[in-house]
Amino acid sequence: MRRKLVIGNWKMNGSRAANSVLLSGIVAGFKSGKADAAVCVPAPYLAQCEAELAETPVAWGGQDVSAYAAGAYTGEVAASMLLDFGSKFAIVGHSERRAYHGENNELVAQKALAAVNAGLVPVVCVGETLQQREAGKTAVTVCLQLQAVLDVLDTAALEKIVLAYEPVWAIGTGKTATPAMAQEVHALLRKQVAERNAAAAAGMQILYGGSMKPENAKDLLAQPDIDGGLIGGAALKAEDFLGIIEAA
């Protein structure tokens, strides 16, 4: 039985003061029942997460990770640095990184590999644009994105990753994939992983992301292949984030 996992992606939001209010609100209201919870924060706030979450069941991580281990890569953050501050997760291949930072499938795969090699859990994001969906290219798009990652990870490493299906047209737009639409893609992704490693596919947490809120979370999370959420906007209010966790 896969446990549900709800991860907040704070994006480039926060301040020490605001984070403290948000983190203490999450910790106060979080009941670790059927779901695990984590927040992926801007790198400067990892130390704050370590200080405020270390003795709690809420995990934390980064929103990106370098494909390189160390060296002359100005602005990059290595997996070892995320681990230095107690991180468990690193989001890789978020559509905003793909769109605004030119990250392609191969680079995303290298980032996932660097994370796994260091002992972090990469949260590998895949998803189609509206144009791709309307052109009937959803399956081919997400399968190519996933395949690049499957190509660089060995079979055993597939047990150490989390996937997130995030239709680009649903991120931050208030438009959500219907539970049936999301389920269809999640099942497809799981089948693709199963072709490499059936046990890993059966155990893999595949999260849905795209305008998930307390009001729509229950129906999405009731789908057999939706194992949690990657939450943007609604992760910035403790009440909303907790509402989604509760729905899980």
The footprint of ligand PEP (CB under 6 A) covers 9, 166, 171-172, 209-212, 230-234
Shortest Cβ 4–ligand PEP spacing (Å): 16
- For the bound state, the minimum distance from the C-beta of residue 205 to ligand PEP, rounded and expressed in Å, comes to 15
What SS3 class is residue 123?
strand
Closest chain position to ligand PEP (CB): 232
Q: Give CA torsion, residues 64, 72, 74, 49, to 10 deg.
A: 50
Q: How far apart are CA 89 and CA 114, in angstroms?
A: 12
- Between CA 159 and CA 157 the distance in angstroms is 5
Q: What one-character-per-residue DSSP string does 47-84 give? A: HHHHHHHTTSS-EEEES---SSSSSS-TT---HHHHHH
Which candidate, 97, 247, 93, places its Cα nearest to that of 165? 93
Least distance to ligand PEP, CB of residue 173, Å: 7
Q: Is 166 a catalytic residue?
A: yes
C-alpha dist (Å) from residue 212 to 60, 103, 215, 238, 241: 19, 24, 8, 14, 10
Whichever of 62 and 209 has its CB closer to ligand PEP, that residue is 209
Identify the sign of the CA torsion 69, 82, 2, 186.
negative
Name the minimum Å distance from CB 198 to ligand PEP: 28
**CB 230, min distance to ligand PEP, A:** 5
Please identify, using beta-carbon distances, which residue of 80 and 129 lies nearer to ligand PEP: 129
Which is closer to ligand PEP, CB of 157 or CB of 162?
162
Q: Distance (Å, rounded) from C-alpha 139 to C-alpha 191?
A: 12
Q: Which of 94, 103, 128, 186 is catalytic?
A: 94
**Which residue, 9 or 141, is less far from ligand PEP as judged by CB?**
9
| Residue type, position 208, single letter | Y
Active site residue 186: no
Q: Pick the catalytic residue: 96, 103, 128, 166? A: 166
6 or 113: CB nearest ligand PEP: 6
- Give the catalytic positions in this structure: 94, 166
